[in-house]
Structure 1
Amino acid sequence: MNIFKRISSLILSKLNELKQKNIINTSAANFIVGPPSNRAHGDIYTNVAMVLAKHEKQNPSKIAEVLAKEFELFDEIAKVEIAGPGFINMYLKIEVWHEVLKQINKLKTEFGTLNIGNNQAINVEFVSANPTGPLHIGHARGAVFGDVLANLLKKVGYKVTKEYYINDAGAQVDTLVRSVYLRYKEALGEKVSIEEGLYPGEYLKSIGEGLAKKYGKELLEKQDNQVIREYTLSSILELIKKHMNLLGVNHDVFTSEYELQKSGKIEESIKLLSDKGLVYEGYLGKPKGKESKNWTYRKEMLFRSTEFGDDVDRALKKEDGSWTYFASDIAYHFDKISRGFYNMIVELGSDHGGYVKRLKAVVSALSDNQAKIEVKLHNIVNFFENGKPVKMSKRSGNFLTVRDVVEEVGRDITRFIMLTRKNDMVLDFDFVKVKKQSKDNPIFYVQYAHARAHSLMRNAPKELPSADPSLLKTGGELFLIKTIAKWPDVVEIAVKLCEPHRITFYLLEVAEAFHALWGYGKSDLNMRFILKDNPDLTAARMFLVQALAHVIASGLSVFNIEPLEEMS
């Protein structure tokens, strides 16, 4: 039972009843029911009076007075108060929280599993780094964000496909092929120099050596760039997959931009837009921002992106007649829609902020407003060691790779830390702090709560009476129950807003409430979880500890992190 959903349902029924009695004119509204930010303001608050006031054209405080009297009649409610301009704060009867506790232990780790998605297909595209080298650690944040969001979507009933878009067409791949060709010649004993503009990475040496081993001098004679291209991209993609696997990330689908272009999908999608009158020949103004010496005022093929909320219309062809990168984007999302994805989420780095409106525009245009796309941007990660910036990798030469970081601090720490800030905020990652066994290490703090719970259950007497949750009455006990009861609500909000960092914050909140309750036993022996002279209260407190462990385990499962029952 999501207690907030339960109260919301009761309020909605009451509004319908009041409308039938002609006390109000509006029966339903998009009002909020949730936990207040300050626990001194009750267990649940709602803004329903303020929302209704707009429709009723009345003072929200007067509407709140009417509603408050009605809400006091709910079986679950102990007290109702009106605050501020019309907020209604409600205090639930203690029995309600005890019933929630019973439900948690009945459902175990399934508590918090919802059915919002109704098995709808949803495509989550994330990472999609250019296949020109190993994944640098900046990609790890997007990888973890996308993977955990996908897990959350599965938890609430969506049929999720995790996708990686391989940007294997364009100038950067041509540059990569030329760079590998030099490494191939080097592997055959020739002395080479890496020209400016080529990729100097040491990781290309092994690819050149692989080509030399497989083809000998054959490619020197034929100069077959297609063979080099396919071998190089295959090798780097395998390297990327290995790095993601170290991070615990696996994609279901890899889609090649190069293959998409060869399939004629660009021409097909542009024709579809053209038939809808959304493609025309016109002129664009000079781009804002950086000065471009190559820019010329010219007639070009444009997509009517502004008809769907974008700032400007978008070019589809370059001056040389080749398709723009945006045209490939159109084809790619046309391909997604063709595969049945009318719900899409795309994760991009913050430097791609300009793509948000155009992607939303083209998805609306291609699907006649039937498909939806959510674009989430992740900001940079700053790495520190004892407070000092870390810029160089000992092994990689000029950048930190995913492998560097995972091998330094571990997969679980990396995954958890990457979601300790909202995705669009800069994240600081200190190698020393995150390995400490202290509150400075968030995953340790959460795992320690889970391990401490299991330690209490192991050390409790084997023979205890049946648990009676009604014995749990202290402020600390009730606060912990109320905190773990929020889990389904936290899951739902995190999914609706596509903000998996909310799970991190919540688990830390749960851990803090539990550690605080455990700490009370240091100064007050009666507050200890295990009381030799009181088996009934011990059983009740073990019942609470068990529920806490289920909620933490459920939360960690979203991260694909195994909850620890013991810690060294």
Structure 2
Amino acid sequence: MTLYARFAAELGAILDRLEQDGVLPAGLSRANIAVEPPRDPSHGDLAINAAMVLAKPAGTNPRALAEALVERLRAVGGVESVAVAGPGFINLTLNDGVWRAELAEIHARGGDYGRSTIGAGRKVNVEYVSANPTGPMHMGHCRGAVVGDALASLLEYAGHEVIREYYVNDAGAQVDVLARSAHLRYREALGEVIGEISEGLYPGDYLKPVGAALAAEFGDRYVGVPESEWLVLFRERAVAAMIVLIKADLALLGIHHDLFSSEAAIHAEGKAEAAIARLRERGLIYEGVLEAPKGETPDDWEPVELTLFRATQFGDDQDRPVKKSDGSWTYFGGDLAYHAQKAEGVDALIDIWGADHAGTVKRIKAAVAALTGDRVQFDVKLIQMVRLLRGGEPIKMSKRAGNFVTLADVVREVGKDVVRFTMLTRKADAQMDFDFAKVVEASKDNPVFYVQYAHARIRSIGRRIAEAGVDCAGTPKLERLDREELALVALAAQFPRIVEAAAIAREPHRIAFYLFDLAAAFHAYFNMGNDRPDRRVLMANDVETTCARLYLANGIGQIIRNGLAIMGVAAVEEMK
């Protein structure tokens, strides 16, 4: 149990007794009661809003209720003082023994400090990246890939069972274009001069190895023959080659999915028809005509009978077609079938989408609600674009020319850890800049460097103490740590509640923000020794203080490692 959870439990027991004594009516909701750090550290260690939350439904004065709580909170173990602030907020100051015990707990639990059980083993499917299988990963895919992977790790750390999934869009027109592009490279590999790549085909050189492999396997069998004889085969081979390429690119970022689901396979196996049949049995599928577009009606618009899903019954703005007038599936029809498949056997679905898909959210939420009877929670995290800069100047790219910035090139230039950490330094729905010069800058303005440097500095402290011949084996004398130093422990002790809050909100960037604050606090603590010899970690003439401070530093290092592990970032041992 975390420190905050322990005091929340103590508060809960006190509230139970107040109910038994008739001070509070039974059955009041406690959902909004919080035990958390106060905004102003000078107010104490814990802030409690229970009196403010319960006073009105209890029909009593908040301050009077706060005074009744204070009387009982003073008796809780580890509480040094309790005060009522303002109209009824309660501030607790804990004694030093609480923080020394928490530091020992950090060391005892190691990599599991901060791990939570709030997920209770619930199974969550997190689908992310899912770029069309038509080429290598580029930086437009990077942010969603990192956010999705970090979110999956965060949910696992918080006690969920997670499935990482990639949806392969291999049933649309784009993969036919891929097949035709591969056929062109196939002919090129056989010696044909293909000249400039035609408009509408993929121009990148990444298809040359695919063409060469097809030429080696089939010779000239598919030269000069109708498209119908090779399109399906070339499509399958090209998609398979692109998936290998995509997996290799993602592996450079440390990303590995558990499951790759094929859109083409979903249709081939009749899963779309099965999903529609289930909804039709419940009266949620019908044949009808959509209303004319709002505003000025296009000249070529005419009412056409379509197969429609009653999305409006589940909060959408209008009913949605699942099939076109020619009987083929709409994009929504395919997405509906896919979500029907992945909702089987899970408790929640999370999709990581680009912000340009915001208009699709309501209809998919409606589909999942209908398909699962609201049993499966569904959430979409929208990811804003990343603007690429070099020294403050935008990098110009052209997909038509095939000179987009690939993920592999970026990782090779600045490193996996820099890419992953940087992508988590802003909320996912906020636009961000990725400046190749800034992200490798060795300054406190660069959070990647600042956090990793804190860990490297802690490791360096340990090496220097060992080199000085100071033996810190055994139990350290933590009484040597004063209030100023124990304030670092109080900040470190927030890590478990940060993990839980981030998991509940599905916001892995909160871990990055917290680590930056923790690193900044550690650097400030360490730098005090530059001006005050008595604040240095290594005190040559005071072994007990040295070992206590090393123990403190190593505890902070453990929290940094735990947080970076969630983010998929290495904790470096030294920085050169």
Q: TM-score normalized by structure 1?
A: 0.94
Distance change >3 Å, CA 294–CA 418, structure 1 → 2: farther
Match of 1:65 among 64, 67, 71: 67
Whole-angstrom CA distance in 2 between matches of 1:123 and 1:102: 36
Contact 1:507 1:555 (8 Å CA) reproduced: yes
Q: Could you say which residue in structure 2 is the equivalent of 1:206? A: 209
Matches within 5 A, 1:166-185: 166-185=168-187
Gaps of 5+ in 2: none
Distance change >3 Å, CA 408–CA 358, structure 1 → 2: same
Whole-angstrom CA distance in 2 between matches of 1:329 and 1:290: 30
Shift of 1:300: 2.3
Match of 1:522 among 517, 525, 530: 530
Q: Could you say which residue in structure 2 is the equivalent of 1:403? A: 408
Shift of 1:288: 6.0
Matched letter for residue 504 of structure 1? A
Q: Could you say which residue in structure 1 is the equivalent of 2:482? A: 473
Matched letter for residue 29 of structure 1? R
Shift of 1:111: 0.8
Stretch deviating more after TM superposition (326-335 or 172-181): 172-181
Q: For residues 17-63 of structure 1, give each alpha carbon's deviation from its aligned partner in whole angstroms, at most 9, with x where no partner exists.
A: 11111111145511222122332232122222222134224443443
Distance change >3 Å, CA 293–CA 441, structure 1 → 2: farther
Shift of 1:393: 8.4
Matched letter for residue 11 of structure 2? I
Contact 2:144 2:383 (8 Å CA) reproduced: yes
Q: Could you say which residue in structure 2 is the equivalent of 1:195? A: 198
Match of 1:437 among 433, 442, 446: 442
Stretch deviating more after TM superposition (72-81 or 97-106): 72-81
Whole-angstrom CA distance in 1 between matches of 2:500 and 2:269: 39
Contact 2:427 2:509 (8 Å CA) reproduced: yes
Distance change >3 Å, CA 131–CA 54, structure 1 → 2: farther
Shift of 1:511: 0.7
Whole-angstrom CA distance in 2 between matches of 1:540 and 1:19: 44
Stretch deviating more after TM superposition (363-372 or 557-566): 557-566
Whole-angstrom CA distance in 2 between matches of 1:36 and 1:128: 42
Gaps of 5+ in 1: none
Match of 1:534 among 523, 539, 542: 542
1:373 aligns with 2:378: yes
Whole-angstrom CA distance in 1 between matches of 2:246 and 2:60: 60
1:232 aligns with 2:242: no
Match of 1:563 among 552, 555, 571: 571
Whole-angstrom CA distance in 1 between matches of 2:194 and 2:387: 38
Match of 1:453 among 427, 450, 458: 458
Percent of residue pairs identical: 44
Shift of 1:290: 11
Secondary structure, counterpart of 1:315 in structure 2: strand
Distance change >3 Å, CA 150–CA 198, structure 1 → 2: same
Whole-angstrom CA distance in 2 between matches of 1:177 and 1:289: 40
Q: Could you say which residue in structure 1 is the equivalent of 2:39? A: 37
Whole-angstrom CA distance in 2 between matches of 1:258 and 1:70: 64
Q: Could you say which residue in structure 2 is the equivalent of 1:353? A: 358
Q: For residues 453-497 of structure 1, give each alpha carbon's deviation from its aligned partner in whole angstroms, at most 9, with x where no partner exists.
A: 11112222432473122221142x122111111111111111111
Q: Could you say which residue in structure 2 is the equivalent of 1:419? A: 424
Match of 1:382 among 384, 387, 396: 387
Q: TM-score normalized by structure 2?
A: 0.93
Q: For residues 188-242 of structure 1, give each alpha carbon's deviation from its aligned partner in whole angstroms, at most 9, with x where no partner exists.
A: 3143553333323332333223322221211123641111111111111111111
Distance change >3 Å, CA 38–CA 359, structure 1 → 2: farther
Matched letter for residue 199 of structure 1? Y
Shift of 1:157: 2.2
Q: For residues 46-102 of structure 1, give each alpha carbon's deviation from its aligned partner in whole angstroms, at most 9, with x where no partner exists.
A: 222222134224443443333233323322322223334433222222211111011
Contact 1:162 1:252 (8 Å CA) reproduced: yes
Secondary structure, counterpart of 1:505 in structure 2: helix
Secondary structure, counterpart of 2:506 in structure 1: coil
Shift of 1:387: 1.0
Shift of 1:375: 1.1
Stretch deviating more after TM superposition (198-207 or 157-166): 198-207
Contact 1:15 1:28 (8 Å CA) reproduced: no
Secondary structure, counterpart of 1:280 in structure 2: strand
Secondary structure, counterpart of 1:218 in structure 2: coil
What is the root-mean-square deviation in Å for CA atoms of aligned residues?
Answer: 2.2
Secondary structure, counterpart of 2:343 in structure 1: helix
Contact 1:466 1:539 (8 Å CA) reproduced: no
Q: Could you say which residue in structure 2 is the equivalent of 1:544? A: 552
Distance change >3 Å, CA 241–CA 297, structure 1 → 2: same
Whole-angstrom CA distance in 1 between matches of 2:34 and 2:196: 65
Matched letter for residue 212 of structure 1? A
How many residues get paired?
A: 566
Q: For residues 318-340 of structure 1, give each alpha carbon's deviation from its aligned partner in whole angstroms, at most 9, with x where no partner exists.
A: 122211111111111111133x1
Q: Could you say which residue in structure 2 is the equivalent of 1:483? A: 491
Whole-angstrom CA distance in 2 between matches of 1:400 and 1:439: 27
Distance change >3 Å, CA 392–CA 500, structure 1 → 2: same
Secondary structure, counterpart of 1:134 in structure 2: coil
Q: Could you say which residue in structure 2 is the equivalent of 1:20? A: 20
Whole-angstrom CA distance in 1 between matches of 2:184 and 2:300: 30
Contact 1:163 1:255 (8 Å CA) reproduced: yes
Distance change >3 Å, CA 7–CA 368, structure 1 → 2: same
Distance change >3 Å, CA 293–CA 142, structure 1 → 2: farther
Q: For residues 224-263 of structure 1, give each alpha carbon's deviation from its aligned partner in whole angstroms, at most 9, with x where no partner exists.
A: 1111111111111111111101111111110000110110
Whole-angstrom CA distance in 2 between matches of 1:36 and 1:15: 21
Contact 2:502 2:508 (8 Å CA) reproduced: yes
Stretch deviating more after TM superposition (296-305 or 189-198): 189-198
Matched letter for residue 98 of structure 1? R
Shift of 1:526: 0.7
Whole-angstrom CA distance in 2 between matches of 1:290 and 1:510: 57
Whole-angstrom CA distance in 1 between matches of 2:77 and 2:144: 46
Secondary structure, counterpart of 1:437 in structure 2: coil
Whole-angstrom CA distance in 1 between matches of 2:81 and 2:295: 58
Contact 1:12 1:28 (8 Å CA) reproduced: no
Matched letter for residue 209 of structure 2? S
Q: Could you say which residue in structure 2 is the equivalent of 1:98? A: 100
Matched letter for residue 466 of structure 1? T
Q: Could you say which residue in structure 2 is the equivalent of 1:51? A: 53
Matched letter for residue 333 of structure 2? A
Match of 2:327 among 292, 317, 321: 321
Q: Could you say which residue in structure 1 is the equivalent of 2:470? A: 462
Q: Could you say which residue in structure 2 is the equivalent of 1:83? A: 85
